[in-house]
Amino acid sequence: MAYPSDNPLSGKAAFVGGASRNLGALISTALGTEGALVAVHYNSDSSRAKAEDVVARINGGPGEAFAVQADLTRPAEVERVFDTVVDRFGRLDYSVNTAGMVLKKPLADITEEEYDRMFAVNCKAAFFVMREAARRIEDGGRIVTVLTSLLAAYTGLYSAYAGSKAPVEHFTRALSKELFGRNVSVNNIAPGPMDTPFFYPAEDPDSIAYHKSSAMNGELTRIEDIVPWVRHLLTDGWWANGQTLFLNGGYTTR
């Protein structure tokens, strides 16, 4: 049997969801640096330029990339995106979904519209990305979804955010079991609060200080801390399956 650790990233085809900025952008460029073929997903026209910049950086090196726009909360668009990846690259080896939305608000104040939006982005989109990846992925492929370390926290104000990501853990367990026999692993990464523009709008100076104080060295998680773990799951870490890895400097544990 040819184990995944025997195979380099070069020539492997990856879909990266939410790849125009922050963690998704860094994952995409890191894979491209090693010669991967990367579909750089972005959601809206406002993200197009950033996605195209990621593509340009990858195409300037050993990798190959193209940008693809889609609303991942619409299953038909998810199907189109994955069809496009296979049409363009001839295969799909990796699906890494970083797309998400945060809401920090007391449960008693959350509107139905806010609830529906959070579950559409963090839960429904994740489900259908996993479904379409499973339908197309090569034997020996990898499916990774980015969640949140708040899944292991006892805290208020993040009910809709963490709650809408919680079902993805069971999606992951179920799919990983269903793909037995194909050497395909399915896992989640749950970072701590990350030092990106995604984090700060929901917080104030006191809560930022608290989040920092809750992790090793009094620091927020950096996207650079997470990318090596993504790479590990795609390569030598192939034996992890159905798991959620809490990568947060001790911010939460489970």
AA identity, residue 145: T
Residue 1 in this model has a pLDDT that exceeds 60: no
Taken in order of first residue, the domains within the chain and their CATH numbers are 9-246 (3.40.50.720)
User: What does the pLDDT look like over 211-242, one tens digit per residue?
Assistant: 999 999 999 999 999 999 999 999 999 999 99
> Quick check: 195 and 203 in contact, CB under 8 A?
no
> Quick check: 184 and 95 in contact, CB under 8 A?
no
AA identity, residue 79: E
User: What does the pLDDT look like over 70-87, one tens digit per residue?
Assistant: 999 999 999 999 999 999
Query: What amino acid positions are annotated as catalytic residues?
Result: 161
